[in-house]
Amino acid sequence: MTQPDAAEAAREAAAANGDRAVLVGPAFSDELELLSELQRHRVTALSVPDLKTLLHLNATALEVQAVLQPGYACDVLGDAVWERSHGRAKRIATLAALIQRAGWEAQRTAAEQDAGARAPHLTVDAAMLLADEALRAAGSATACTREDVDAAFAHLCDPLVGTAVRTDESVGITQSPTT
């Protein structure tokens, strides 16, 4: 394999008014000299296995952008994989599911006890308590934050999700977690 030319990749990107320069190849050696050139010219070396990982993840444009940093893509690709599996988006999705389940159960129980009663809505504080209880039951030692619950409420109330409705300071669950 010929030696990758980071300077040429940077010139081509600049000529095309690009904001990223990427060398794609079957594999790259992890030599310090090449790493220095990649960083000096702000070029990413993306191997075919790196590209396969991104495709397998069905990576979003933001995830790909995070990987396209000067240097070897494999050095930051692990962060993208970890974030996808364990990061904030996964945490918010998990909290939203826990809140939806607990909120639906509370509303169902209230309706069974008094058919004419207005279904209770969840406040952020109540949702935090319910979510923390569910997290502890699942073995997590990390409590949720107000910011996490606000993000979970925003997700549940998103018109594309349509699982909850926001009213002033609370949220009413509109769908069972199984629908």
135 shares a domain with 102:
yes
Mean pLDDT score, 71-92: 85
Q: Is the pLDDT of residue 1 over 60?
A: no
Asked if residue 112 and residue 47 are part of one domain, the reply reads: no
Give residue 67's pLDDT band: very low, low, confident or very high (50, 70, 90). very high
Residue 15 structural domain: 6-85
Average pLDDT of the residues in 143-166: 87
Q: Judge if 119 and 62 occupy the same domain.
A: no
The answer to whether residue 178 sits within a structural domain is no
Question: Can you give the pLDDT at residue 2?
Answer: 66
Instruction: Clarify whether residues 101 and 169 are in a common domain.
Output: yes
Indicate whether 26 and 57 sit together in one domain.
yes
Based on the number of CB atoms within 10 Å of its own CB, is 137 exposed (0-12), middle (13-18) or buried (19 or more)?
A: exposed
DSSP string over 80-107: HHHHHHHSHHHHHHHHHHHHHHHHHHHH
pLDDT above 60: residue 46: yes
Q: Under a CB-based contact definition with an 8 Å cutoff, are residues 174 and 163 in contact?
A: yes
Alpha-carbon span 64 to 14, nearest angstrom: 20
pLDDT at 177 exceeding the cut of 90: no
In a domain, residue 123? The reply is yes
pLDDT digits (tens, 9 = 90+) for 102-124: 888 877 887 788 776 676 778 88
In a domain, 12, yes or no: yes
Count of the separate structural domains present in the chain: 2
Residue 179 lies in a domain: no
- Given a cut of 60, whether residue 128 has pLDDT beyond it is yes
In a shared domain, residues 107 and 126? yes
Domain boundary (61, 85, 109) is at: 85
